[in-house]
Amino acid sequence: MDRITDAFVWPFRDPEWPAKIGIIGLILLIPIVGSINGLGWMLAGLDGLRAGEERLPPANLSYLGRGFRLFVVNFVYYFAIFVVAAAVYAAGFVILANQGQGESQPVLVSLGLALLFLGFSLLSLGYLALTFLTPSIVLAVSRRGIAGGLRVDMVVRTARRSLVNTLIAGLMLIAVHFVASLGLMICVIGVLFTNAYGLAMQTWIVRSFEMGPPQAA
């Protein structure tokens, strides 16, 4: 637990953290390209932690290639969940729309409402599940590229290897999302800091997940 909670403080161990966080924050403002580069920057930080280097990677636009692979994998997963949830939601909407054109049948109205609720639930639970699978997805992409990241069986197997570790990492990532969202409350300057800081935190969380729980002496 101590190791994974260090995610909040490890970026500040780099004497150059203000400049690096600021530059990456500025790059993140570029639509799509900034997000792709940010993901690559996070993967570069993961490589650094694996090598024992607890410093943030240089802040520049050189991470697009690596970030693109993770961006594609994330997009596929999120889009697949959206399509499934939207199909269920649309079915419920069609049923309710048809019932509104004539004499309604309570059974069909109930079915339509249930499908609307199910569609929303699938979307919410699916995205939440992806949060807990994020460390496994990032590791799969870092090791085997896009093909590895889309191996659902391998991603789930990695997550199930230590459910406690997966739970802790997922909860920490939820905290990261909360920290990143705080920037919206502090206008543009806050966004520049918290989004890049969130990526740095995610780097440490993924590395801690990869290492697994500390072994007792």
* pTM higher than the cut 0.75: yes
- 141 vs 11, 40, 50, 173, 215, CA distance in Å? 23, 11, 15, 18, 26
Tokens of 168: 């802790």
Tokens of 54: 């607890």
**pLDDT score, position 217:** 36
One-character DSSP codes across 38-55: HHHHHHHHHHHHHTT--S
Confidence at 215, pLDDT banded by 50, 70, 90:
low
pLDDT score of 10 more than 50: yes
- 152 vs 13, 17, 147, CA distance in Å? 35, 35, 10
CA atoms within 13 A on the CB side of 148: 13
Confidence at 61, pLDDT banded by 50, 70, 90:
very high
**pLDDT score, position 216:** 41
